A and B are shown apart, each in its own frame.
Chain A
């Protein structure tokens, strides 16, 4: 029920922000289209804790802040290496452990690896992720496991 309410709220916000026309007719169309999408979502059985991870809402902002800091730092690093050229990179290709218990935890971890330039998740397994890293340092810092731990912390 709360997942239905959440998806309705999100769709309403998206519709209102994209429309800009608030006449009765168009608002009516909006209501109908949102109802249709929510209904289809239910039929597809995708309105659940995975598409609407409400249980993570409280912890996500802190994690995003930490991730943003990492993204900025690794962007600067990759920019420098792009200008220096191929001599500045030392590509690595290894599996790293993913200790998350849930699918959504692993997805957040793999997506975080991807959002950070310099590391790319190539294949997600049951408890490992195959990662390509632009540099040896990038692989070492990923293997130190801080991101892994922080994503695990989200699940609790």
Chain B
């Protein structure tokens, strides 16, 4: 294996581990909002590590440019999508579970 392939393999392994961790958090956390944080791992560093790993395999080709574009679009649209999802959950009246010390939220449709 060439050094580039080794770097790529390490990055892909890290990325896979992060995506797996995201999935495990998604299954284990209690409510929509906390589950979205787990999905955030997959969204950000998981995707970055896997795409970087693929970039090292691609070399200086057009594929590299496309992978960079995928990464940029993912990082630009991801937060907007998760904001929309969170806002939709909040607007439909879903109260987040908090650790009990503070009343949940102070605006929106929640119980006062």
Q: Which residues of A contact B (CB under 8 A)?
A: 14, 17-18, 20, 71-72, 75, 78-79, 81-83, 85-86, 89-95, 110-125, 130, 132, 134, 136
Expressed in whole angstroms, the Cα–Cα distance for A116 and B24 within the complex equals 18
The residues of B that contact A81 with a CB separation of less than 8 Å are: 25
Q: Is B22 an interface position by the 8 A CB rule?
A: yes
Could you say which residues of chain A place their CB within 8 Å of the CB of B66? 17-18
- 29 A-B contact pairs sorted by A residue (CB < 8 Å): A20-B62, A71-B44, A71-B45, A78-B41, A79-B21, A82-B21, A82-B25, A82-B28, A89-B29, A91-B34, A93-B98, A93-B102, A93-B104, A111-B80, A113-B79, A114-B80, A114-B83, A115-B40, A115-B79, A116-B44, A117-B38, A120-B36, A122-B83, A123-B90, A123-B108, A130-B105, A130-B107, A132-B96, A134-B34
- With A123-B87, A123-B108 known to touch, is A115 a contact of B44 (CB < 8 Å)? yes
Q: Which secondary structure dominates where chain B touches chain A?
A: helix
How many residues on the B side are at the interface (Cβ–Cβ under 8 A)? Answer: 43
**B65 touching A17, Cβ below 8 Å:** yes
Q: Mark B69-100, 1 if CB is under 8 A from A, else 0.
A: 10000010011101100110110000011110
Q: Which residues of A contact B45 (CB under 8 A)?
A: 71-72, 75, 117
Interface residues of B in 15-41 (CB under 8 A from A): 18, 21-22, 24-25, 28-31, 33-34, 36-38, 40-41
Complex-state Cα separation, A53 to B68, whole angstroms: 20
Contact call B96/A91, Cβ cutoff below 8 A: yes
A78 touches B30 (CB 8 A): no
Contact assessment for A134 and B69 in the assembled complex, using a CB-CB cutoff below 8 Å = no
Q: Which of B28, B65, B99 has the most CB of A within 10 A?
A: B28
Instruction: List the B side residues contacting A72 at CB < 8 Å.
Output: 45
A123: nearest residue on chain B (CB-CB)?
Answer: B87
> Taking CB as reference atom, which chain B residue is nearest A107?
B80
Give the CA-CA distance A122 to B28 in the complex, in Å.
21
User: Given A83-B24, A91-B96, A92-B102: A117 and B33 within 8 A (CB)?
Assistant: no
- State in angstroms the CA–CA spacing of A116 and B41 once bound together: 9
